[in-house]
A and B are shown apart, each in its own frame.
Chain A
Amino acid sequence: MRYGNPSTESVLKRMQAEGCQKILLVPLYPQYSATTTATANDKAFDALKTMRWQPAVRTAPAYFDDPKYIETLANSIRDGVEALPFEPDLVITSYHGMPVEYLKKGDPYHCQCYKTTRLVREYLGWPKEKLMVTFQSRFGPTEWLQPYTDKTLEALPGKGVKKVAILAPAFSADCIETLEEIAMGGKETFMHAGGEQFAYIPCLNASPSGMDMIEAMVRRELSGWI
């Protein structure tokens, strides 16, 4: 874990002590950002700096447009929507936000989020207006990536969109941000603004298809080593 436990350093050292001389680092962020992918790798490199006998290390790239990821995510959306007791007017892919300034400095995250959603929409064969991108978790006074998730949820019922499903594809596992901010807080915002039906589609988590996707990626990135 980049923050908290088990720390990247403690696990890397344990792996090394157990004889791992080649290690593949896999940041579980589908879309690359300096604020997530890079800092996760940084932490691993910090640990390498303290080792006399460093293992050989590879890093797996972001997988925002990996066909297997797109297929897995798209299927989770289709299955999630089919299981609902209502037909959503709109499905929202809500990504974690960041200050616009980071995008202007060259962070490709924004573009990768849009590409993930576009590829998923193409895979599903849905019209453009059925699947939209928003950015959640704005914090502080500066401008963040737009459209904002909360403002969008607030505005949609007034535009006649009263049934939505929402998911958070930037997270590989559900967490407080997806469960509390989106599934609970988002629902409150939407219903309060006049929405009628709201559903949260979970992250891939440890689902068999999510794990298959990670396994396929890991096997590909290990090529030449195994």
Chain B
Amino acid sequence: MSAHLPPDHPSVPKQKIGVLLLNLGTPDGTDYWNVRRYLREFLSDPRVIETNKLLWWPILNLVILSFRPQKAVMPMRKSGTARKTKVHSASSPVIRPKA
């Protein structure tokens, strides 16, 4: 095909078909900031939390993100998740039932 292209044409990769497996994700590490960053992204998703944004923002930023990351760190270390599993994938460390 490249024989038909002008000399200054960018190189054209061979056409391929791709398969992209999508899953939930997991924090990059078990420390407070990594867990916080992950939780923030997860709990800022309007598909997950349908509560009115003006109501939810202070709850998330002032309450949940202040306390939940610490609470999630220990279970993550205990269970050895966060990038340790072979298919490191789904993880939702916050949503633990209240006893």
Contact = CB atoms under 8 A, between A and B. Distances in A.
Interface of A: 1-5, 8, 11-12, 15, 17-29, 34-36, 38-44, 55, 96, 99, 101-102, 136-139, 148-150, 171-181, 183-185, 205-206, 214, 218, 222, 225-226
Contacts of B21: 26, 28, 214
A11 B79 CA distance: 28
Interface in B1-45: 13-28, 38, 41-42, 45
Interface string B77-99: 01111100111111111111111
Contacts of A184: 75, 78-79
A20 B90 contact: no
Chain B contact residues: helix, strand, loop or mixed: loop
Nearest to B81: A176
Nearest to A24: B19
B55 interface: no
A91 to B, nearest CB: 21
Contacts of B97: 136-139, 148-150, 181
Contacts of A185: 96
B24 to A, nearest CB: 6
Contacts of B78: 180, 184
20 contacts: A3-B25, A3-B42, A4-B41, A17-B13, A24-B18, A24-B20, A25-B22, A26-B21, A26-B22, A27-B22, A28-B21, A40-B23, A173-B23, A173-B88, A176-B91, A177-B92, A180-B81, A181-B97, A184-B78, A214-B21
Given A40-B22, A137-B97, 5 more contacts: A15-B18, A35-B45, A99-B50, A137-B96, A172-B89
Given A176-B92, A177-B92, A206-B86, A2 B23 contact: yes
A123 B7 CA distance: 62
Contact of A19 (B15, B81, B94): B15
Contacts of A38: 47
A179 B19 CA distance: 28
Nearest to A215: B19
